[in-house]
Every structure is written in structure tokens, then in C-alpha cells.
Amino acid sequence: MRIAEQPGFLRTVAAVLAHSGDSWFWLAGLGLLWWLGTDYWKGRALTMIVAILLTALVVFVVKLVVRRRRPEGEWGKFYRSTDPHSFPSGHAVRAVMLAVVMLGLGPLWLGLLLLVWAPLVGLARVSMGVHYLSDVLAGMLLGLVVGVAVLLVV
């Protein structure tokens, strides 16, 4: 599955997908949506921002407990230097959580779009060599749990 060292179109797509789950990207976009959006979108954005921060805390605690080293590789030096632990994949947790919350809150079209996107992010993280498949699968399961928990609270 690993294509991080193989130049070409597929690697480029995987790299873009792998980064598309970055928390800073989502927080910046949702912050902009909260600032410029209608009341409907402001509410969605605020819920998602809080959910992303909650997800980060949960992932941080699990990573500190498990302390599984990332796979060897060159791609993703930023991730490797700022977070040497791979289990669970925070990107997979975040992507599935976002999909679950949006499926629950709406609009449905966005929830469905995120539901298609979420597993692609996880697979891209494995393809780019920054996670093992088990990191992603566990992250997706944790994302489902966190997403449902968020929906139960809002």
C-alpha cells in the first residue's frame, strides 16, 4: 500500500488526501465559516471546532498511553518530529468524527461527502507511510465513538 517513495500522480493524490485531514486546515476553515457564515453555518462550525478540539485531546491521551512508534520513512517529517506516535491515527479519528457529526447535524449532502472522504484520508496516511493500517482502523473506530458522543451532547 505504501507509495510515499514512488513519484507520480497517485502519490500526489495520496499526499493531498493525507494532508486534507490536518486539524489546522479544518480549524482555519471552520473559523472562517464561523466568522463569515450565516447563523446556520456558524452553529455547525462552532460544534465542529469544539469536536475537533475534543478529538485532539482524546487522541493525545491515547497516544501517550500506547506510545507506538510511526513506521520508518521520509515523508511527513513534520508529523514525525512533532508527534512520533502513530496509534491511533489522529487524522482518521478526526475524519470519521467529522463525517459522523455532519451526518447527524446536516446537511446530509455534506455528511455523505465526508463519509466518502474519511476512509480515503486514512488510506492515504498508510500509503504515505506515517501510519500502520491498524492505526487507521482503530482511529476510525474511535472517530465513530467520539462523533456519536458529540451528537449525544449537542
Q: Catalytic positions, please? A: 91, 131
DSSP calls for 4-59: TTS-SHHHHHHHHHHHHT-HHHHHHHHHHHHHHS-HHHHHHHHHHHHHHHHHHHHH
CA 52 – CA 49 distance, rounded (Å)? 5
Nearest to 139 by CA among 79, 83, 95, 74: 95
Q: Are 99 and 111 in contact (CB under 8 A)?
A: yes
Residue 84 — φ and ψ, nearest 5°?
A: -75, -5
CA 55 – CA 125 distance, rounded (Å)? 18
CA 43 – CA 63 distance, rounded (Å)? 30
Residue appearing with cell numbers 449525544: 152
